[in-house]
Structure 1
Amino acid sequence: MTCGHRHLYVMLLMLLGKSPCADDNLLMLGDFSSGSLTHWQSREFKNQTQYQVIDDDGTNVLKAESVNSASGLFREQRIDLQKTPILNWRWRVDNALGKINEQSRSGDDYAARIYVVTRGGLAFWRTKAINYVWASTTPKGKPWPNAFAGDNVMMMALRSSDDKIGTWYTEKRNVLADFKQQFHEDIPYVDAVAIMTDTDNTQSKATAYYGDIYFSKN
């Protein structure tokens, strides 16, 4: 199935920011440790990836289980990257997807990924996104255009086959700087964040876990 990711991109184009005010130094988006999925919405494209908050050794985390499925959780939120440019989270995967070509449409699956999206308003072609992904074969640090959306959606491999499965890793990304580097322009706001564990193209299985997701000043 290849239409699911096109539908995902169309949906991302339609996201609008509707958010309460936040602390100048920290903006919590995914407060999973409190057991809450408030403000997160589910969207299915092929079958349903199962998302649920579970207890992991005394701490609540978000668990995602995908079996030949493509669905995600999305939160619409306008984030001022000049105030809080750093995206923070931790994640873990329990299995790799094998030797797939993630830069092709048939291999565009990820055990774990987090999107950040800036909308283009009526100029929808200006909507841009970065996918921070746990890759299967692509080397860590490599960016590439999404196989379905082209240059408007850039993929970035933060973890890959060199990283241990079943191990938590903590990430910090300067989203303001990443947008500048990938799109060669100043993008001061993010309008949505999405989580997705998907295995529909490769018809495989994946289990991933996500800790709290938040933006910070540094």
Structure 2
Amino acid sequence: MRLDRYLPRKLIHTWFLVAVLAGMSGCAIQAPPPSASAVEQLREWAPRDLPGKRPTRYAISTQDGQSCLMAQADRSVSLWRRRLQLGPDVLARVEFDWWIAAAEPLGTVTAPESDDSPARLVLAFDGDAQRLSMRNRMKSELVQTLTGEAPPFATLMYVWDAQAESETVVVSAHSDRVRKIVVGSGAKGSRGWQRFKRDVQADYRRAFGEGPGDLIGAAFMTDADNTRGKNQACYGRLLFLDEQRRSLPGSLDF
């Protein structure tokens, strides 16, 4: 029996995106070759496509002299992800750098029909699945059947939005286990490199009303599939930090 016949395609894509975390002008940017350090540090990362979707292009590159992961979305969506295992007693903060060329002006994570963003840092957290509602447990079981991967207990996204104001918190229309915090906004992009410094514990509590479990996965995501437009960004340093601001395993420090 094809279970996917009985669910809307958008819902299946949303839950597949959540599941895989547990486990532009349209032309290529001409840039100097990336550093050997950038290539080495990204060995633990890998692209992940979504079924039935055109994938976003990811490539190691440089922008304004900084090594980065260039993402070019053209009516597309996919992720660049890695697995992690960082307990809430260790992980305190996350810092990340983004360079955003421009944002599709019609895209906004506040509306499911135009839920596109030039840049997202997606964090997947573990937790007690028995605490989930019956509806969410059924969705989780369905996703595992369709994809072979169980979705995480909760997913927190830091996003750039063309329209929504910074610090807006958005609950996904498809799953209340996915919540988004807008950390930057504007259709003209970031106008250079920007560094964001976030208190993961506080942001998770703000989004979900409780403390987080283990961080089990992270991904970069640039998409433009809902608006059928284009988005382009470069992802630079990503630092997972403890209370003493020491870098934790899984960090990218090009």
TM-score (norm 1): 0.83
Provide the C-alpha distance between the structure 1 equivalents of 2:153 and 2:61, rounded to a whole number of angstroms.
Answer: 34
What are the equivalent positions in structure 2 for 1:47-196 lying under 5 Å apart?
47-120=54-127, 123=130, 125=136, 127-149=153-175, 151-161=176-186, 164-196=189-221
Structure 2 CA distance for partners of 1:32 and 1:61, relative to 1, 3 Å: farther
Amino acid at match of 1:39: E
Other structure's SS at 1:182 match = helix
Computing the radius of gyration from Cα coordinates, the structure with the larger value is 2
Task: Return the match for 2:49 from 44, 56, 65.
Answer: 44
Higher helix proportion (structure 1 or 2): 2
Task: Return the match for 1:5 from 11, 14, 21.
Answer: 14
Provide the C-alpha distance between the structure 2 equivalents of 1:32 and 1:106, rounded to a whole number of angstroms.
Answer: 40
User: 1:118 Cα deviation (Å)?
Assistant: 0.6
Following TM superposition, where does structure 1 have runs of at least 4 consecutive aligned residues deviating by more than 3 angstroms?
A: 120-126, 162-166
**Percent identity (aligned):** 25
Stretches of structure 2 lacking an aligned partner (at least 5 in a row): 1-8, 24-34, 137-151, 246-254
Provide the C-alpha distance between the structure 1 equivalents of 2:82 and 2:215, rounded to a whole number of angstroms.
Answer: 11
Q: Is the 8 A contact 2:106 2:114 kept in 1?
A: no
Other structure's SS at 1:90 match = strand
Structure 2 CA distance for partners of 1:214 and 1:165, relative to 1, 3 Å: closer
User: 1:66 Cα deviation (Å)?
Assistant: 0.6
Provide the C-alpha distance between the structure 2 equivalents of 1:177 and 1:152, rounded to a whole number of angstroms.
Answer: 17
Other structure's SS at 1:83 match = coil
Provide the C-alpha distance between the structure 2 equivalents of 1:42 and 1:181, rounded to a whole number of angstroms.
Answer: 30
Q: Is the 8 A contact 1:135 1:157 kept in 2?
A: yes
User: 1:43 Cα deviation (Å)?
Assistant: 1.2
Aligned residues: 201
Provide the C-alpha distance between the structure 1 equivalents of 2:106 and 2:229, rounded to a whole number of angstroms.
Answer: 12
Other structure's SS at 1:211 match = strand
User: 1:89 Cα deviation (Å)?
Assistant: 0.9
Provide the C-alpha distance between the structure 2 equivalents of 1:127 and 1:168, rounded to a whole number of angstroms.
Answer: 32
Structure 2 CA distance for partners of 1:155 and 1:51, relative to 1, 3 Å: same
Structure 2 CA distance for partners of 1:205 and 1:211, relative to 1, 3 Å: same
Higher strand proportion (structure 1 or 2): 1
TM-score (norm 2): 0.72
User: 1:152 Cα deviation (Å)?
Assistant: 1.1
Q: Is the 8 A contact 1:4 1:70 kept in 2?
A: no
